[in-house]
Amino acid sequence: MKSNRNSKYLSSVFEGGNQNDPLEWIVFLIRPIWPRIELELIREIHWDLVSIFVGTDGDFKKTTMPYHNLRHTLMTVLATVRLFHGLRCNGVEVTEKTLLQGLLSAYFHDSGMLVKKTDTATSGSKYLKNHETRSIVFLQNYLIAKKLPAELGDGCETIIRYTAIKSDPETFKPHLREIRLAGQVVGSADILAQMADRYYLESLPLLFQEQKAGGINEYSTPIELMERTAYFYYNIALKRLVTKFPLTATAMRAHFLKQHAIDRDLYLENIRNNIRYLKKILINCRKTDCLDQHLRRKPPLI
């Protein structure tokens, strides 16, 4: 059995040292692998996105989404960089342009659920359905405002569509191998960052609230959503990771081995632990409202 100390160390490694803002870890991973990329540009994009989410940007209201929040976006970006790093460790070459497109797509992949200050909507839940299209528009507008090459947007549009859980990349308009690779990276990162998060189970009732407010009525109660989650992982998420995103399958393990001398995929381990504990909760809570007894962590409000 692993010691508590070891578990704490692995948790610290997984969280990137700072669970609220992994910017320095993101930059740290980029620097030695793609030394010519403009790190200050990455920092600028990062802080611009944070400003948009927290409402200090002039155009957007502070997000009130409890599940698809700033934390999820930042954890997706961290997972994206880790996958790119793991690919490089596996000998897969990625251009700096493609890396930048992958990072931009990760930062903006859920921006379509943000609410503009000129909008009458009170919550981003209104845009939950098919939010990817709106995210693409916001990213393209950002590229124009920052005077970044407009051509970046073409690739980012396709990459963001990889994050739509029901999308089939085989039906997308033809795109370059580099964009396909970046799409698989960001699509994988989106799934892994959610389901491996230490607050994932506590966040599922929040996801239920989002979906209900957004007119998605697949489930009548949070328990029903949680009952479906194990099925979702094994039959949809895991299948998607293995069959639709095969290029990234071993990249995360390669990252942890190279960077931390840990020959394990901590994301898949955390997901399996979450699903295992979820099953225990469901055994006890199917007929009683006892979630609070089992879900005691408080997700960060960012």
φ/ψ (deg, to 5) at 238: -65, -40
Angle at 165 between CA 244 and CA 100, to 5 degrees: 75
pLDDT at 302 (0 to 100): 64
- CA distance linking residue 167 with residue 236, whole number of Å: 11
φ/ψ (deg, to 5) at 279: -60, -40
- For residue 52, which of 128, 145, 132 has the smallest C-alpha distance? 145
Evaluated on CA atoms 95, 96, 102, 105, the torsion sign reads: negative
- Amino acid (1-letter code) at residue 30: I
pLDDT at 33 (0 to 100): 77
CATH topology of domain 7-294: Catalytic domain of cyclic nucleotide phosphodiesterase 4b2b (1.10.1300)
pLDDT at 279 (0 to 100): 87
What is the mean pLDDT, run by run of 10 residues, along the chain of 302 residues? 61 74 91 83 96 93 92 96 95 91 97 94 90 96 94 92 93 94 97 94 91 87 88 91 91 95 95 90 69 65 64
One DSSP character per residue, the chain reads: ---HHHHHHHHHHHHTT-SS--HHHHHHHHTTTSTTS-HHHHHHHHHHHHHHHHT-SSSBPPP--SSSSHHHHHHHHHHHHHHHHHHHHTT----HHHHHHHHHHHHHTTGGG--BTT---S-GGGG-TTHHHHHHHHHHHHHHHTT--THHHHHHHHHHHTTSTT--GGGSPP--HHHHHHHHHHHHHHHHHHHTSTTHHHHHHHHHHHHHHTT--S-SSHHHHHHHHHHHIIIIIHHIIIII-GGGTTHHHHHHHHHHS--S-HHHHHHHHHHHHHHHHHHHHSSS--HHHH--------
Residue 60, sorted as left (phi over 0), alpha (psi -120 to 50) or beta, turns out to be beta
pLDDT at 3 (0 to 100): 41
pLDDT at 257 (0 to 100): 95
- CA distance linking residue 104 with residue 160, whole number of Å: 9
